[in-house]
């Protein structure tokens, strides 16, 4: 297997394992065994267990470039917002245990490095929302702060849906899409 493919295979296994069990209950030996590789290879690609975990959190909370590129171009604002929200809900439902473990920091909440990765992922997600809406050119601090607030809403709404089960997917979609449309039309202009 090519090195990049092997690394991705190990990372996919780590995502699955850390999604099922807390950080303290997963070892690099567990990851290696499940991936069918030597433990030394896990360390070679990722360093320590904590470094591997930080990469898992980063991957689960960061929108891949391909997702942004696949959004419909030249569509109405409502259609783009619907696509953004649908994509988010598809991803978090497909990887719900790993996503929930990542946003809950898998028992590592309060760890400075984990908190920094989560904060970075929120910043990236906010920038991605602005880019997807075509609002990223010259986005100032206030607009980015508003976008980060929306990302926080999306995270907590996702938790209400997946973790607590008090909202349906349709309710979550309506809440996030309507809120984003309102922000774009009525709130984001105030950031200028």
Q: Are 188 and 140 in contact (CB under 8 A)?
A: no
Q: Which of 45, 117, 1 is nearest to 14 (CA)?
A: 45
Q: Encode pLDDT of 69-125 as tens digits.
A: 777 777 888 988 998 899 889 888 988 888 888 888 777 778 899 899 989 989 999
pLDDT value at 138 more than 90: no
For position 37, what pLDDT does the model report? 95
Cβ contacts of residue 164 below 8 Å, gap of 6+?
Answer: none
For position 75, what pLDDT does the model report? 80
Q: How confident is the model at residue 141 (pLDDT cuts 50, 70, 90)?
A: very high
Pull the structure tokens for residue 98.
């790993």
d(CA 41, CA 3): 10
pLDDT value at 47 more than 80: yes
The four Cα atoms 57, 60, 61, 63 give a dihedral, to 10 degrees, of 140
**Domain architecture of the chain: domains with CATH:** 3-57 (1.10.10.60), 62-191 (1.10.357)
| pLDDT, the chain, mean | 90
For position 83, what pLDDT does the model report? 87
Q: Residue holding tokens 């100032």?
A: 140
Q: Encode pLDDT of 51-73 as tens digits.
A: 999 999 888 887 777 767 777 77
Q: How confident is the model at residue 49 (pLDDT cuts 50, 70, 90)?
A: very high
For position 62, what pLDDT does the model report? 78
């Amino acid at each position: 297997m090519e090195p990049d493919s092997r690394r991705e295979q190990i990372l996919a296994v780590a995502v699955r394992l850390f999604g099922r069990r807390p950080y303290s209950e997963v070892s690099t030996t567990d990851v290696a065994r499940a991936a069918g590789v030597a433990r030394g290879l896990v360390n070679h690609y990722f360093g320590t267990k904590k470094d591997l975990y930080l990469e898992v959190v980063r991957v689960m909370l960061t929108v891949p470039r391909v997702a942004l590129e696949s959004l419909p171009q030249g569509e109405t604002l409502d259609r783009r917002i619907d696509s953004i929200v649908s994509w988010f809900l598809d991803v978090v439902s497909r990887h719900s245990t790993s996503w929930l473990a990542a946003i809950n920091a898998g028992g590592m909440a309060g760890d400075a490095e984990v908190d920094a990765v989560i904060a970075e992922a929120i910043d990236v997600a906010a920038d991605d929302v602005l880019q997807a809406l075509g609002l990223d050119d010259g986005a100032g601090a206030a607009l980015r702060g508003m976008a980060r607030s929306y990302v926080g809403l999306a995270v907590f709404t996702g938790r209400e849906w997946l973790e607590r089960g008090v909202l349906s997917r349709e309710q979550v979609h309506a809440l996030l899409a309507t809120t984003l449309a309102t922000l774009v039309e009525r709130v984001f202009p105030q950031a200028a």
